[in-house]
Amino acid sequence: IEVEKIIASCFDSDAEELTTISQYLLELGGKRVRPLLCLLTAKLFSAPTPPKELLTTAAGIELIHMATLLHDDIIDESLVRRNSESAFKKFGQTPTLLTGDFLLVRAFGLCAKLGDLFIVEETENACVRLTEGELLEGHIAPERHVDFDEYIRIISGKTASLFALATTTGAYFCASDKEDVETMRKFGRELGLLFQMVDDVLDISADKNLLGKPGGVDLKQRVPTLVNILWLTREEEKAKQFFQQKSYSENDIQETKSYLLSSPVFSDCINKIEESYTKATSLLNQIRSNNIDQASKSALIELMDYTVGRIKLTASTPV
């Protein structure tokens, strides 16, 4: 609740449309995973109450995430966000773009007020990596095959950078051992990778209600997702033919989704997700502090279980 209040306090502007669009996006909801990670990491190291600086940082990270959602909808020309009109559809390209910029500036304003160079530098680095990941993905031609290592480099930036920022800052404010700060950085990165890989699979396994937007978009746009790159890795003629098409009917997409869900590609994806889950769990077990809050550790594991469990809700093949 306190983090939400800080976020909302950043929406004030003389340009009313900036406030309106920011508030609209906030009210669309969301899981608030990144601020949650900040707070859970602080509690993990037995912080009795989150320090004010951490609440401010958590709000700043969510503002950055909100900005990326606005920019992503413009880039993807998405008409739907969380089962509602996207800001891009409702308010138009230019106001949405400027609101994203506005939220980024507000986020850095929060960080700057903390007067802590570490937080500013970490936030800057995360934002640079996020932007680099988005650009690297966007510059990949549809016909070029991306291997798994390159895929991991892309999503380490575009998704995992903010997850790592959240866990790093939570540990920075509350952990007494610097090595634990680095361990939580690695954990956040791995959790971000897990989150993105699951999201990629949901593009073929989930319906619009769970996704909050139409499924099959990554297939149609030939984005280098986990599903698409692992399908191409198998060198199936069907995959080559699909990605060489210039356009797709709704029937093409539905048939391809059904095929992939019953093919070895789906199992390949699940194996990669399970590997990531195991790495993240192992990192939590490497924390050196003797004063760990076990309830918070369990909550972090439950968050991973929930993330992976989203596939179980949709796929006919057991996960």
- How many CB atoms are located within 10 Å of the residue 60 CB? 32
- Nearest residue to 155 (alpha-carbon basis) of 187, 118, 184, 196: 196
Return d(Cα 35, Cα 162) in angstroms, integer: 10
Q: What is the pTM of this model?
A: 0.93
CA distance 7 to 156: 25
The amino acid at 247:
S
Report pLDDT for 316: 45
What's residue 284's pLDDT? 96
Q: 80 has which bridge partners? A: 85
Adjacent-strand bridge partners of 84 = 81
Q: Which pLDDT value is given to residue 48? A: 81
Per-residue confidence (pLDDT) for residue 83, from 0 to 100: 85
Residue 319 confidence class, pLDDT cut points 50, 70, 90: very low
3-state secondary structure of 85: strand
Looking at per-residue pLDDT, the higher value among 275 and 316 belongs to: 275
Report pLDDT digits (tens) over 103-149: 999 999 998 888 889 999 999 999 999 999 998 887 776 667 889 99
User: Distance between CA atoms of 222 and 218, rounded to whole angstroms?
Assistant: 6
174-220 pLDDT, tens digit per residue, is 998 999 999 999 999 999 999 999 999 999 998 777 777 778 889 99
- Quick one: pLDDT at residue 143? 64
pLDDT at 113: 86
Mean pLDDT for the chain overall: 92
Of 3-7, 84-88, 133-137, 302-306, the one with minimum mean pLDDT is 133-137
Residue in this structure with the two tokens 């899981």, named with its chain if needed: 31
